[in-house]
Structure 1
């Protein structure tokens, strides 16, 4: 089978496009003929070694796929079913960037009838990150208010869409050029992320403070985040592995607040399946859709990794068609 894979950790040039033996399907796996795979920032972390994880070389890259079932021993799936997955390519699992992939049955989900495969594969990773950050780890409830920084990005816009449709209010920070987009996906209020008086502007919108703060940009200014929190407010950190910030422990203590780090690579299969149920619903109702998709052939995997690392893609998702 044709695949994009690495034989060592390294730069994008380490990616090989070539032939590999087809994978072996174990009893708890489903064999999938891959239609498309998305390219995520975390794929570059795994390829380069910045995110250490178990792998066996040659190692097929990529987390997300859409495709059709070829072989399954599970009653849940039958040959020909359209399916998707967003948790391959780490923790000992081979990746998605190949003509055939084996997926553990507990990490595979049906693609709803009528959903576009390439549109779906572009959103399932950021959408799962958004759902788990806001609802599983952020414990967001209807009627609460969330501040989403970097709201025009892939994870940020998924957060805005899912939170607003769950009955909560979103305050979005982004560049002014992106404010209309943020409002279109569900933000009730928009603020220029460069404003020096963000704290005052948030206070003018919701005097009692925000219930949840998530910064998808990775800046993670804890001083401002904690100052804006309501009593019992939460901060969930989803980005910025190299960020460093002063932590105002006294104000956090007095507000009965909390801070939690969350990386989707550590999500359990049960958590991912819960997220998948909500994602499938929003794939159908139109709430989750990529801002833009750039389709490339599988042979361009190295180019896609270079672009992820060097270009400002501004919400454009790179999808490799098999």
Structure 2
């Protein structure tokens, strides 16, 4: 079968499409015929070694897939051949990736594709939407009575977070570039230009009772300025900014029962991923989530896709490698 693999950690040009044997599902495993896989920033982190995780070479890259069940190992009894399925947690933690014609997946990491949902749109949104849902509801404990600030509201995770939070009944204040503000306002969010010299004052005016949750998807959040804008028991959830540093007065946290929480979907449990998948599938089926523009590329352009993502050339779109 064809697979996009690396033989060592390194730059995007270490990715090569090669012929490798079709894997055989063992006990408690499922063989999936892959239709498509999305390209995420975290895939580049794994490939380059920025995110350290157990890897065996040759290593198939890619985390998310959508496809159909092709084979079943012993003791797999809740799936059938031909079932349409998707997954968000391959390609790290010792698991081979999704960028191949076939992939082996544990059944507890597979989720049914809703009948009314386009599989390509689903795999395009799988990672950012699951990340947003887990950040909001598992880590942020968001409820309908809350106000949430989403920094980086025009990005993939940010846009999903805004849609999911609004659907849950929360008040949403989002920051984004000027050209994205009208679309965010039309969606129902209060939208502020992150480049405005008055941004902090505008945020303060938009949060008369403070923010119950502050989700940073931009990687540029300033804790010193942000934490005082939280409500009592407010929480910051960070999902970006790996190299960023900041200072903070402890009193701004513990005197108000506030918290700062870091979250990477790579650390999510199987149960957490399953709950996110259920919510994302329902949100897509109900029209709460909508896929952005999708750039479909053949598997052979995987290295090009990684390079473009790392160079910041992919904006307002999602790259999906079509394998089937």
Task: Give the TM-score, by structure 2 length.
Answer: 0.96
Deviation at 1:197, TM superposition (A): 2.7
Deviation at 1:246, TM superposition (A): 1.7
Cα deviations by residue, 1:201-238 (Å, 9 ceiling, x for unpaired): 22322311010001101012101210210111000111
Unaligned runs of 5+ in 1: none
Distance 1:279 1:76 in 2: 21
Distance 1:244 1:321 in 2: 38
**In 2 relative to 1, CA 186–127 (structure 1 residues): closer, same or farther, beyond 3 Å?**
farther
Distance 2:214 2:116 in 1: 34
State the superposition RMSD in angstroms: 1.1
- Which residue of structure 2 lines up, in the alignment, with residue 171 of structure 1? 173
Secondary structure at 2:303 match in 1: helix
Distance 1:198 1:282 in 2: 31
Deviation at 1:186, TM superposition (A): 4.0
Distance 2:196 2:249 in 1: 21
CA contact (8 A) 1:220 1:245 kept: no
Distance 1:3 1:186 in 2: 42
Unaligned runs of 5+ in 2: none
Cα deviations by residue, 1:52-95 (Å, 9 ceiling, x for unpaired): 10011110000000001111252321111111001000000000
- Which residue of structure 1 lines up, in the alignment, with residue 291 of structure 2? 290
Question: 1:15-26, aligned counterparts within 5 Å?
Answer: 15-26=15-26
Distance 2:213 2:200 in 1: 14
CA contact (8 A) 1:8 1:57 kept: yes
- Which residue of structure 1 lines up, in the alignment, with residue 307 of structure 2? 306
Aligned length: 321
Distance 2:322 2:36 in 1: 4
Distance 1:117 1:184 in 2: 27
Distance 2:30 2:298 in 1: 24
Secondary structure at 2:16 match in 1: strand
Distance 1:184 1:208 in 2: 24
Which of 216-225 and 197-206 deviates more? Answer: 197-206
- Which residue of structure 2 lines up, in the alignment, with residue 49 of structure 1? 49
Which of 168-177 and 69-78 deviates more? Answer: 69-78
Question: 1:97-176, aligned counterparts within 5 Å?
Answer: 97-176=99-178
Deviation at 1:165, TM superposition (A): 0.4
- Which residue of structure 2 lines up, in the alignment, with residue 182 of structure 1? 184
- Which residue of structure 2 lines up, in the alignment, with residue 211 of structure 1? 212
- Displaced runs of 4+ in structure 1, greater than 6 A? none
Task: Give the TM-score, by structure 1 length.
Answer: 0.97
Secondary structure at 2:283 match in 1: helix
